[in-house]
Amino acid sequence: ATGLQPSHKSGISHGLVNLENYEARIETINYALNNDDGMRLNKFDQADVILVGVSRSGKTPTCLYLALHFGMRAANYPITEEDFEVGDLPDELLAHKGKIFALTIEPERLAAIRELRRPGSDYASLRRCYKEVQMAQDMFHRHGMTVLDATTHSIEELASLIKKSL
């Protein structure tokens, strides 16, 4: 419950009633799409929130939900093989640590999701998922990031938790 009283006016949530709000919402959606998967790290300073996590942990849909439903500029960064080799996240990302929320996921669930995308691959193997999740969690804890578990929360719940934390 939000504690707010209903307005009883239909169409004001996402309609064209207020053109300025509508255009701002479209801009946040475009921002999320243009700053997906670590593209344009140089634009992360414009983000309200940055999600980081392993591949297929729910970063993109959560960013889009934040943009569409809360009008937030949400970017995301997937932890890459290079990051795992170096053992840390890029300085360009860490410069925005105050905006970062880390998504984690149980390795078994991650393997099941990846198996749907690339069946029988090393990418989807339980061994690799365990390794990546553990290494990512080590990075998150080392940098004192807020960690949310995508295993037990829906995209809507993750977005609401992020919104409440800001």
Average pLDDT over residues 90-101: 96
Structure tokens given for 31: 């921002």
Q: Where are the domains of the chain?
A: 19-165
- Asked if pLDDT for residue 22 goes beyond 60, the answer is yes
Instruction: Kindly compute the dihedral angle of the four CA atoms of residues 126, 49, 80, 154, in this order, to the nearest 10 degrees.
Output: 20
Q: Where are the beta strands (DSSP E) in 59-150?
A: 74-78, 100-104, 146-149
The CA distance from 2 to 106, in Å, is 30
Distances (CA, A) of 38 to 22, 52, 54, 64: 26, 9, 12, 14
* Fold assignment, 19-165: Rossmann fold (3.40.50)
Whole-prediction pTM value? Answer: 0.86
Span 134-160, pLDDT tens digits: 999 999 999 999 999 999 999 999 999
The CA distance from 140 to 77, in Å, is 13
Strand-pair partners of 74: 49
CB proximity list for 66: less than 8 A, separation 6 or greater: 28, 32, 48, 49, 72, 74, 159, 162, 163
